Amino acid sequence: MAKKKYSRNNRRKKSARMSAGSLFVILIAVACASLIRAIQTESRDSESAMTGLEYGNLLEVKTSERTPEVKKSYTGMDISFNPGAHIPNWVAWELTAEETLGTEKRKSNFRPDPGVKGCPSLEDYRNSGYQRGHMAPAADMKWSPEAMSESFYLTNMCPQSGALNGGAWGKLEDKCRLLASGQGPVYIIAGPVIDGRPLEYIGAGRVYVPSRFFKVILTPYSTPAMGIGFIFPNGRVEGGMQKCAVTIDEVEALTGHDFFSSLPDELEDRLESQADFDRWSRLCTKAK
């Protein structure tokens, strides 16, 4: 049987059909690409909108009902002070990226606040074997001379071992500043665990020496939003700060305080149940 011969017209018709098929594939690909770009744009717009959300006062803490307190707001921090223990129940502050760029020099001016009932004296700490450990660090207050000065009030101090203050506690403070510079603002609340079982009392004023300290950290506008807590012994921390990472829920259960209650309930539940130190640590060095 003779092979079928294609005319020039047949070849043109086949070529036209192939071109139409190729064009159809190209059009589908373009449409898919446009759809993907639209989804990505919508997602970015959604993330941008999230950064503009207002969650109320994230520094507001509902102190445990069983805990005495005198509240005071300073330039750079809010404090709940325990007049019976002579130390703060908690200290809360916000740290922004801009504030980490402050140039105010550290001025060590430890002193009591005469306006706060139960504030200890410098003599209470003298020769005690403990350092006057900042809850809100002076290095977070470089943005204002007033904030720097007020961070040295003894209302912001607890008797803290040098091993903790110069070790894991200080390293976590450094990490929070990295977090704020890349993912701020950061909301931080720190304090002692006042559980009726102090290591001892110091000074004539019998200042309570906590056996443990806590810190809770929230970045509600980062991508992703994250929360984490820490519970430290008042001494050397074996294994570094990562060994002390816990959920914010665990800190609340230990202290009786309620943190970040102005968040929407669903978001609060999610952020306060996190304790992924590795992921949180990576966020600390992630640029916006």
Residue 125: which residues within 8 A CB-CB, separation 6 or more?
Answer: 132, 154, 157, 159, 202, 203, 207
Candidates 132, 134, 142, 177; catalytic one: 134
Residue 35: which residues within 8 A CB-CB, separation 6 or more?
Answer: none
CB 93 within 8 A of CB 176: no
pLDDT number for residue 287? 54
Q: What is the mean pLDDT of the segment spanning 15-37? A: 50
**What are the pLDDT digits (tens) for 18-27?**
455 555 544 5
**What are the pLDDT digits (tens) for 168-193?**
999 999 999 999 999 989 999 999 99
**What are the pLDDT digits (tens) for 258-279?**
999 999 999 999 999 999 999 9
Q: Reduced to 3 states, what is the DSSP secondary structure of residue 82?
A: strand
pLDDT number for residue 100? 95
**What are the pLDDT digits (tens) for 52-99?**
467 889 999 999 999 999 999 999 999 999 999 999 999 999 999 999
- Average predicted confidence (pLDDT) for the chain: 86
Task: Respond yes or no: is residue 86 known to be catalytic.
Answer: no
Look at the alpha carbons of 243, 241, 247, 284 in this order and tell me if their dihedral is positive or negative: negative
Q: What is the mean pLDDT of the segment spanning 116-145? A: 98
Sheet with 245-246: list strands edge to edge.
70-73, 78-82, 87-95, 186-192, 212-219, 226-233, 245-246
For the record, the structure tokens of 79 come out as 């404090």
pLDDT number for residue 41? 36
Which residue in 226, 144, 213 sits closest to 179, CA to CA? Answer: 226
Neighbour count for residue 33 (Cβ, 10 Å): 10
Determine the Cα–Cα distance for residues 248 and 149; give it in Å rounded to an integer. 30
pLDDT number for residue 22? 55
Q: What is the mean pLDDT of the segment spanning 112-136? A: 97
pLDDT number for residue 56? 85
pLDDT number for residue 107? 86
